[in-house]
Chains A and B, each alone.
Chain A
Amino acid sequence: MSAVTPAGLSVAGISKSFGPVGVLHDVHLEVAPGSLTAVLGRSGCGKTTLLRIVAGFVAPDAGTVALDGRPVVDLPPERRRVGYVSQEGSLFPHLTVAGNVGFGLPRRQRRARHRVDELLELVGLDAGFADRYPHQLSGGQQQRVALARALAPGPRLVLLDEPFAALDAELRESTRRAVAAALDHAGTTAVLVTHDQGEALSMAGQVAVLSEGRVVQAAPPEELYRRPADADVAAFVGDAVLLPATVRAGRAESVLGALPVAGHPDAGPTTVLVRPEQIVLEPVVDGGAPGEVVARVVDATFYGHDATVRLHVRPGSGEHPPPGPLVARTPGHAAPAVGTDVRLTVQGSVTPTGPRPGDP
């Protein structure tokens, strides 16, 4: 697999409409050779269309797609050397696993089995699967075969269109790991389209958030989670507590007290992002000391490994009391009882997400 040098992908100014419906608007995206980028967006945001334009199945209305700097927009899909894995795997039902994997290989290599076995091994499947038909495989196995098939002709880029969405939770995790390992081993550049934040954040080196046909932010997962471009992105990539605050001397004054702020924000009113797991709950001793932020637990949802707790901050503590309850996440074993009072502290820094939007 190492014979192929992975290509860098650069998408510039792509726009596409289907009839009167604009799907993509001036989309830009850079993917480094050999890296995995996730395109994250809600259903209907245009992410599949973007992928199909890169693959060559759809022609864009405007813009360019380039592999290693060479434009490919005018090439038909079969001449782009771009692999494609669809949501259901789309294995050819009339061919065995070997027939599927070897589909894109020259006739001679199709005959020689070792290449097929090699690819099956790469995706973590036993060579014994080679003679099975797609309907005899589980969903996860089908996706692995689909990836092996896409990798077989040595593509310079592999596109994965929600490849795990059709799998149940348990299978999804193991298939994800197998696919990530195979992509890593093959060293191919890959673009993964998904609506699953966890999937994007855990698998990709870069996550591009696509919203209403525009790339609103493209960044490494940690940066995206910690420092989202705006409140929408913040809320999309994870649970978010958005608090009105005023920045003074590098600290954000909010209902949770004066919190350290990431970066160098301008002074003045703003909204800060706090992730629920940053809020630590502790039992209150003697009704709480002055300066402490105390809240009452109004609701708790237990998930096992953790719990989501909704809190009403006691009036009088901090600035800008929010209109509704706050949400915090605690380990499941430490979930407080409803009706009790807890002391709140915030771990780490908070992120300003721009001036106060309409609703925090």
Chain B
Amino acid sequence: MPASLTGRRRAGTLPLGLAAAVAVAVLTLVPLGFVVVASASAEPAAALALLFRARVGELLVNTVGLVLATTTACAVVGTTAAWVVVRTTVPGRPVWIGLLAAPLAVPAFVNSYAWVSMTSAVEGFAGAVLVTTLSYFPFVALPVAATLRGLDPVHEETARALGLGPVAAVRRAVLPALRPAVLGGSLLVGLHLLAEFGALQMLRFPTFTTAIYDAYESTFAGPAATLLAAVLVLLCLVLLAGELRLAGRLRLARVGAGAARPRPPRPAGRATPLALLGLATLVVLALGVPLAALGRWLAEGSSTAFPVAELGLATLTSLGLAAAGAAVTTVLALPIAWVAVRHPGRIGRLVERSSWVGSSLPGIVVALALVTVTVRALPVIYQTTALLLVGYAILFLPRAMVAIRAALAQVPPELDDVARSLGVRPAGVMARVTLPLVARGVGAGSALVFLAVVTELTATLLLAPIGTDTLATEFWGRADAVAYGAAAPYAALMVLISAPAAWLLTRRGVPGGPA
């Protein structure tokens, strides 16, 4: 059905749904708006003094250096690993694909805890690059593997038929097709690095995010924290601009992927041992080390004390917050997904796009903004669970929205028309047709949000009411105090709860990037 026929609904359903979607979009823009307003209203001389000092220069070098080094490493490692697993006859390929996604079950701050608890050699730049690469390379490997699997071999065959050798054919016909997946994944890694707090704090590698946290700890939401947040947001916007430019091409790259003929894998031959060794090393470093460290500290920690009551309480708190966060986020995502699918005009696009902005900002910035805005304008909800849930919703809205949008796109708008011609009013159509049909998408989306909330650390540290302790914050309190053994049970529980997320991701692609 052409857009002209779908974008034409009679008055009735549109204003309410659109108003809700716009309201949600405005909510997600609060953090960005706060940063802009706060930096604009800062006292210029003081602002300049705060920004142009050696400390900020050092943070800039650290942050940019880390982003460049780790995204490059992730692109190379992720693409190579995906290539070997999808395109060659290396033994055990289905198992390897699962193992490439498995590191996502280990939160980056748990991974760095594992490394730093084994050796202090990982502190500093090199260690930060190593640990973050091991945590984030699946963001590149998974989309590249998916693209490689969906790639129609006809392009490579045509290139060969046109006289190119095997290497040249790959370079000129296959690699360009992989570019959107590699770049998209790398941008996602970049955004995560800008937001990463726990892992880098633990490795004693200061970036803007850790510096904002320290400034917040010492001077609350003072100008120092705000101005650093402004610089961080600028860095995010640079990456986001790249992502927006990529979005159009990403879509092109997926056209017709569904009907592609499977391509016979290339015999690995004599390179098999080398490929196996490489994959094994990667998995041991990314998955084996953190699991071994956890096992060791669990064994050592449990010999001293195993605080069942505290563990149980933190688990319940985490699960409860995750369930509530998932519910709130999903409810807020519904109108956005609805508008994105059913009213794809300029307003629809704008609303959908803006819902990504909040989630692309680091958790520390979102939390800082919510703290400052509520303390000044709405002190009633400062230090409440409600505010924490709002923070989760802003951070994880796209995960729910993408899943619901995909389900909604499968529902032909004719069904609404038919239902109304049968005498059912718009609200009834929503309850009896639309919601039952998108139920599965709603379920998948809320599961993704649920699992993201369980391992959320930064925003929870700032926004959780006093006395609300989650697995992540309890872990953080102990690990930060070098009580490695006491931290281990909390980390193990988080990994256990996150494992289904990793499994979901191998099937649904990576969340967080505009899909």
Contact = CB atoms under 8 A, between A and B. Distances in A.
A104 B424 contact: yes
A68 to B, nearest CB: 18
Interface residues on A, range: 35 or more
A202 interface: no
A6 interface: no
B422 A83 contact: yes
A55 B421 CA distance: 7
Contacts of B414: 86, 88, 90
Interface string A147-186: 0011011010001000000000000000000000000000
Contacts of A303: none
Which of B9, B415, B420, B422 gathers most chain A CB within 10 Å? B422
B422 to A, nearest CB: 3
Contacts of B507: none
A81 interface: yes
A19 B8 CA distance: 11
B10 interface: yes
A18 B423 contact: no
A94 B421 contact: no
A198 to B, nearest CB: 25
Interface in A70-84: 76-84
A79 B37 CA distance: 49
Given A18-B4, A92-B433, A153 B10 contact: no
A140 interface: no
Contacts of B425: 76, 78
Interface in B376-419: 412, 414-415, 417-419
B421 A83 contact: yes
A77 B421 contact: yes
B422 A149 contact: yes
B20 interface: no
A94 B436 contact: yes
A34 interface: no
Given A55-B421, A77-B421, A92 B415 contact: yes
Contacts of A76: 10, 12, 420, 425
A93 B415 CA distance: 10
Contacts of B432: 103
Given A59-B10, A94-B437, A104 B417 contact: no
Contacts of A78: 420-425
A19 B4 contact: yes
A133 B10 CA distance: 30
A104 B4 contact: no
Contacts of B9: 57
Please report whether the interface of chain A is mostly helix, strand, loop or mixed according to DSSP: loop
Which of B5, B8, B417 gathers most chain A CB within 10 Å? B417
B5 to A, nearest CB: 8
A56 interface: yes
Interface in B427-452: 432-433, 436-437
A92 B433 CA distance: 7
A56 B10 contact: yes
A252 B437 CA distance: 64
A150 B417 CA distance: 12
A152 B422 contact: yes
B443 to A, nearest CB: 14
Contacts of B417: 52, 55, 57, 77, 84, 86, 90
A155 B417 CA distance: 15
B421 A103 contact: no
Contact of B4 (A21, A57, A150): A21
Interface residues of B, number: 22
A4 to B, nearest CB: 13
Contacts of B437: 92-94
B104 to A, nearest CB: 32
Contacts of A55: 417, 421
Nearest to A79: B423
Nearest to B415: A90
Which of A57, A82, A83 gathers most chain B CB within 10 Å? A57
Interface in B2-33: 4-5, 8-10, 12
A29 interface: no
A146 B417 CA distance: 13
A76 B412 CA distance: 20
A58 interface: yes
B420 A77 contact: yes
Interface in A255-288: none
A357 B277 CA distance: 80
Contact of A90 (B8, B412, B436): B412
A98 to B, nearest CB: 14
A155 B420 CA distance: 12
A41 to B, nearest CB: 16
Contact of B422 (A19, A21, A58, A150): A150
A86 to B, nearest CB: 5
A83 B422 CA distance: 6
B10 A84 contact: no
A18 B5 CA distance: 8
A76 B10 CA distance: 8
A82 B420 CA distance: 10
Nearest to B421: A84
Nearest to B436: A94
B10 A104 contact: no
Nearest to B439: A94
A92 to B, nearest CB: 6
A273 to B, nearest CB: 35
A94 B412 CA distance: 13
Nearest to B13: A76
A80 B425 CA distance: 12
Nearest to A94: B436
Given A94-B436, A94-B437, A104 B8 contact: no
Interface in B486-506: none
Contacts of A84: 417-418, 421
Nearest to B417: A57
Nearest to B3: A18
Contacts of A82: 421
Interface string B211-223: 0000000000000
Which of B10, B420, B421 gathers most chain A CB within 10 Å? B421
B8 A18 contact: yes
Contacts of B421: 55-57, 77-78, 80, 82-84, 150, 155, 159
A150 B422 CA distance: 7
A44 B331 CA distance: 39
Contacts of B5: 18, 48-49, 52, 58
B422 A57 contact: no
16 contacts: A18-B8, A19-B4, A55-B421, A57-B9, A57-B421, A58-B5, A76-B10, A76-B12, A77-B420, A78-B425, A103-B432, A104-B423, A149-B422, A150-B421, A152-B422, A159-B421
Interface of B: 4-5, 8-10, 12, 412, 414-415, 417-425, 432-433, 436-437
Given A77-B10, A83-B421, 4 more contacts: A57-B417, A149-B422, A155-B421, A159-B421
Interface of A: 18-19, 21, 48-49, 52, 55-59, 76-84, 86, 88, 90, 92-94, 103-104, 146, 149-150, 152-153, 155, 159
The 7 residue pairs across chains A and B that have the minimum distance between CB atoms: A104-B422, A18-B4, A84-B421, A77-B420, A90-B414, A78-B420, A94-B436
